[in-house]
Chains A and B, each alone.
Chain A
């Protein structure tokens, strides 16, 4: 258990990370962490990302049924969405990239 927490704190302590969310298989929120004033912004992204990830997974499965998606990342203009799907849960991280590489408070 502490191992998971260690990993989460490690990810959260990264300066570019805006939010970290754990979602279950039905797309419901299990755990969330938001950087400063990022809640609304990230909430909207996170609402749609699980479905997108399921779609990506079915894309991979369609091409080769023995294959499976283990990591999915989408690069947007100003941020990057990283998704690590697993059997029961899905970890989503939104991080800044490019010009505004850091959180605004720094």
Chain B
């Protein structure tokens, strides 16, 4: 059965494992972030910053989603087919915000595209190099 295998935690883990996905925030109808995640290869940022950002993001996108769905539904009341399913905001810094809602919960995913993925890969390689060098120095000592 589909419902037996449906495990939100694992789905989110799978989502986070994708290379192109940098961050996501899951929040409820009140705009309270329930689950958030941000890839952090350097590991120097504190947890609070992520939470602050998550609250900020969920407030903004909650508002945007509500306005969009209300406005588009109102305009075509008689058709009843204008429910918003998904929104994508492509931005200048070559990433994309994808917003979608299911039941009471909304998720915002920040996805890197094109150039940004390669830049991210290079960043990871550099970090790996730096770490390797640091370990070498430790061994010498």
Contact = CB atoms under 8 A, between A and B. Distances in A.
B27 to A, nearest CB: 14
Given A67-B93, A69-B91, A70-B91, A76 B81 contact: yes
> What does DSSP make chain B's interface, helix, strand, loop or mixed?
mixed
Chain A interface category by residue count: 20 to 34
Given A52-B68, A55-B67, A77 B85 contact: yes
A62 interface: yes
Contacts of B93: 64, 66-67
A72 B90 contact: yes
B71 A48 contact: yes
B97 A77 contact: no
A59 interface: yes
Contacts, number: 83
B75 interface: yes
A73 B68 CA distance: 11
Interface string A40-51: 010011011001
B75 to A, nearest CB: 4
A77 B68 contact: no
Given A45-B75, A63-B56, A63-B60, A74 B68 contact: yes
Given A68-B92, A69-B89, A73-B88, A45 B72 contact: yes
18 contacts: A48-B71, A56-B87, A59-B60, A60-B89, A60-B91, A63-B56, A67-B91, A68-B91, A69-B91, A70-B90, A70-B91, A72-B88, A72-B90, A74-B72, A74-B87, A76-B85, A77-B83, A78-B81
Interface of A: 41, 44-45, 47-48, 51-52, 55-56, 59-60, 62-64, 66-79
